[in-house]
């Protein structure tokens, strides 16, 4: 029987280090593989990110682009506040600001709804990707 995560290996460490060193980056398995060079195989990268996602250390985002590659990013934090996900580049950002608290209070007071900030992710477009989209449509 596979006792997952029983052994600590060089490859696991290298992959975990990579995400820690690029905590803002949102990358594909292929990109991690390319960055680490000969140290690890692509299969191991896939296996590692799958496990890290299960453990909650990473977050996976599957982009709209149907056949496209899944993106992985270090879970920014487990604290309770909202996150916003860009639907184009996939980046997950923190959103800690007073207005969110006002919004949460309003949901509770007027709608009787207890928002779970840890589970909720807002979807949309970040500043950069919004600009890129505008450029494309103008062309």
Partner DNA sequence: CTAAGTGCAAAATGTTTGCATACTT
Partner DNA sequence: AAGTATGCAAACATTTTGCACTTAG
C-beta of 23 vs 62, nearer to DNA: 62
In the complex, least distance from residue 124 CB atom to a second copy, rounded to whole angstroms: 4
**Positions in the binding site for a second copy (CB under 8 A):** 50, 60, 62-64, 66, 70, 84, 86-87, 93, 95, 97, 99, 103, 106-107, 110-116, 119-127, 130
- For residue 43, the partner it binds in a second copy, DNA, none, with Cβ less than 5 to 8 A by kind, is DNA
Which residues does 108 contact at the CB level (< 8 Å), separation at least 6? 114, 115
Indicate if the alpha-carbon torsion angle 34, 35, 40, 45 is positive or negative. negative
* Token code pair at residue 65: 């682009």
**Positions in the binding site for DNA (CB under 7 A):** 1-12, 28-30, 39-44, 46-48, 50, 65-70
C-beta of 12 vs 81, nearer to DNA: 12
- How far is it between the farthest Cα atoms of the chain? 57
Residue 113 to residue 20: CA distance in whole angstroms: 35
**By three-state DSSP, how is residue 27 classified?**
strand
Please answer whether residues 95 and 81 qualify as being in contact, where contact means their C-beta atoms are separated by less than 8 angstroms. yes
C-beta of 20 vs 134, nearer to a second copy: 134
In the complex, least distance from residue 57 CB atom to a second copy, rounded to whole angstroms: 15
C-beta of 13 vs 101, nearer to a second copy: 101
Residue with tokens 């250390």: 57
């Amino acid at each position: 029987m596979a006792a997952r995560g029983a052994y600590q290996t060089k490859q696991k460490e290298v992959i975990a280090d990579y995400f820690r060193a690029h905590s803002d980056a949102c990358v594909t398995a292929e990109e991690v593989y390319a960055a680490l060079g000969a140290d690890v195989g692509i299969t191991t990268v896939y296996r590692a990110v799958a496990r890290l996602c299960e453990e909650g250390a990473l977050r996976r985002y599957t982009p709209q682009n149907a056949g496209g590659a899944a993106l992985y990013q270090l879970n920014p934090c487990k604290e309770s506040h909202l996150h916003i996900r860009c639907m184009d580049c996939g980046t997950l950002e923190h959103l800690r600001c007073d207005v969110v608290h006002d919004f949460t209070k309003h949901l509770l007071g007027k709608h009787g709804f207890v928002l779970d900030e840890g589970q909720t992710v807002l979807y949309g477009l970040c500043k950069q990707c919004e600009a890129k989209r505008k450029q494309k449509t103008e062309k």
